[in-house]
Structure 1
């Protein structure tokens, strides 16, 4: 019975894509490789009930996943490895040489970078003089209340890359995308330091639980970004 059901589900996915499926059904199919015989639908339901969304499932830790009935270490590790592959795919969604001049394109890219990141993380995106993508790098990561960006390390990375333009981005995984006072101070300090080194900080994008914000586009710190 399970074999026939699985074949029908996979055939439907091949024919119509993911749009016609609910999240628990996509998760159910993903679990086929871990459970050769049993019905994976109840396990998928329990995962969604526990973590809320597919994104929540992929953001969970190994121990958290193993707390769900029916999920063992090997299944939890499979989900974590799949998450790592998705993260890499999202980070490679912009190719070297692709233009990131528009704030919308930058925000979309940043949203992808942080999609499954559940701790605060600071990254820098390196651009050439035409605002084309060169690379991106994690500068700092850790618990939300512990991350304190090292301004000099940011400067050092930008100089090492020999790029004329950078975008700073970080996330508020459990909060709003609105910048804090500390975010504004850090941005101003970095802008001034980079300017002395001949490097232009083009934006600071913050990704929150429900969206993203470009400080430049929103007229925050208008004295340094005076084109808005």
Structure 2
């Protein structure tokens, strides 16, 4: 398998082979193919294995702490690489890259997570922060807290982001009402709300593109 990687790159490997190699590097011995295939069958894909919650992975027989740490290191590295691509450039100029990053961190979350991208006056990323974490279908966000944090960071614009664990990015009436409340609070401080993006499983929705802002 090493020869295949060196000659043809990782694109030549099937999902289970990528995972098999990763597990072998963690265990350093033994046949990791059965465990790799079992994980792919359980979670559905290589990406889903990487995104699986740590306690869920630890509950898989035969996996163990070393392998779970290796899996989470790969996931964390992928997210950091995606985030690095957004730095030092206006995020609005490369919407596909931004969606790739947001999908990487949110698409497979099992509960709703509300994040805010804080931007400077050149629309470059100042910070990406989780504002709140909720249940499988709801999260609380308070407009005054959003405004306060934007002022703390001297942000002139923000992008709201949250996920729908159901996989359907369609906004609920609560999503729409919350967005309007936050926009009104931001307008009072001359802070721009560029968009509110909802991430589903392999799909996303932009309030701006749907004329909901």
The reply to whether TM is greater than 0.5 is: yes
Is residue 2:113 matched to residue 1:126? no
2:113–2:134: 8 Å Cα contact kept in structure 1? yes
TM-score, with length taken from structure 1 = 0.84
Tell me, in whole angstroms, the C-alpha distance in 2 between the residues paired with 1:28 and 1:35: 10
Aligned residues: 212
Select between 128-137 and 147-156 the one with higher mean Cα deviation: 128-137
1:75-106: CA deviation from partner (whole Å, max 9, x where unpaired): 223323432333333333311x3112244454
Deviations 1:134-185 (A, max 9, x none): 3221111233245211221111111111121111111112231111111100
CA contact (8 A) 1:107 1:213 kept: no
Q: 1:136 to 1:220 in 2, by over 3 A?
A: same
Structure 1, unmatched stretches of 5+, are 1-8, 222-228
RMSD: 2.0
CA contact (8 A) 1:62 1:73 kept: no
The 1-side partners of 2:126 and 2:59 are apart by 41
Q: Which moved more, 1:76-85 or 1:38-47?
A: 76-85
1:1-228 to structure 2, matched below 5 A, reads 9-95=1-87, 97-102=88-93, 103-145=95-137, 147-221=139-213
In 2, the alpha carbon distance for the partners of 1:45 and 1:33 equals 16
SS of the residue 2:117 aligns to: strand
Take 1:154 and 1:116, find their aligned partners in 2: how far apart are those partners? 24
Residues 90 and 101 of structure 1, relative CA distance in 2, 3 Å threshold: closer
Q: CA deviation at 1:55?
A: 1.8
Name the SS for the 1:34 alignment partner.
helix
> Following the alignment from structure 1 to structure 2, what is the Cα–Cα distance between the partners of residues 61 and 138?
17
**Alignment partner of 1:205: what SS?**
strand
Unaligned runs of 5+ in 2: none
Using the size of structure 2 for normalisation, the TM-score is 0.89
Whether the aligned pair in 2 keeps the contact of 1:55 and 1:115 (CA below 8 Å) is no
Question: Contact between 2:108 and 2:201, CA under 8 Å: does it hold in 1?
Answer: no
